[in-house]
Structure 1
């Protein structure tokens, strides 16, 4: 298949989950929250804060699970963290929603929803569409995170500390998510 044209259909996992019984969807949500928790522990040392692989995981979960189940999975993950389970990069607890990472956490469901939304509508059929869909979805975390951070430290610092250091990582993680989605499209699906 040429690099300019990606697969024409949603991956088998997305189709299977849409028609799956409730218990399978619950299992997928639990697996997704485990992936998100693990991705929070994968860090790349950066200043002022380390970069995690969470947004990569958000993009992949959204694209593979679909917009609704992807967003529901992320909401379950945030609930786990809010009640104190150590699923965030710095542990767990409600206080994470009120500190410097609060706005970014609140944007997580939007990232997964948008990734699923765009892939469900066929944006993943071409390289350009896939890049646009994943990039827009990924940038959504900054739409909520940077203004929230600005309310705490001011706009100049919020942009300098909460956006600019993460541009390169955003490009890399978006590309990785696109590649992961493309691999998932090529996997054979089980049809019963």
Structure 2
């Protein structure tokens, strides 16, 4: 590899880093819309449904960077708290921030920040294996926080059985899909 090639592989791929405030504001609006749409793709399960939310959260973190990614996810949660139908199944309202899904919801901005922070250190589409690990770390954070919250409500054994284990395969698949999407996007931008 030449020095130029090595430098381009190690350089962070965060498209919104050096953009204007107007572009970043538009990205937040677009990101909250993407999150709302990802919430509509749902496989009903009890007590927590399977959605594409974690895929959207981790992609937003990787593409927006840790600060703007976390801010975008927090804006989406504020929309949900205000009653807009942006959560799984078109739900909204404050009740979701105290129910069985609350731990997952509160973990989303942290997951976006984690993935964005890792992407800024080269764990991005230019290095697909590391991008996969970053996405998996974001999904893992969601499952850990969500499972811990659920354990406080229904007990650790049930939380693990119903709120963590059924989502592991989905976390792997969504992480792989996210890494592939980042890789394709980084190639197009090069």
TM norm structure 1: 0.88
Q: Secondary structure at the match of 1:187?
A: helix
Residue 44 of structure 1 contacts residue 52 of structure 1 at CA under 8 Å; is this kept in 2?
Answer: yes
Q: Which moved more, 1:81-90 or 1:33-42?
A: 81-90
Higher relative contact order (CA 8 A, sep 6+): 1
Q: Which runs of 5+ in 1 are unaligned?
A: none
TM norm structure 2: 0.89
RMSD: 1.8
Tell me the number of residue pairs that the alignment of Structure 1 and Structure 2 aligns: 181
Distance in 2 between the 1:104 and 1:38 partners? 17
Q: How does 1:1-192 map to 2 (within 5 A)?
A: 8=9, 9-11=11-13, 14-15=14-15, 17-46=16-45, 49-90=48-89, 91-124=91-124, 125-188=126-189
Distance in 1 between the 2:179 and 2:43 partners? 20
Distance in 2 between the 1:21 and 1:66 partners? 14
Q: Moved runs in structure 1, 4+ residues, more than 6 A?
A: none
2:3 matched residue in structure 1: none
Q: Which moved more, 1:23-32 or 1:132-141?
A: 132-141
Distance in 2 between the 1:88 and 1:183 partners? 28
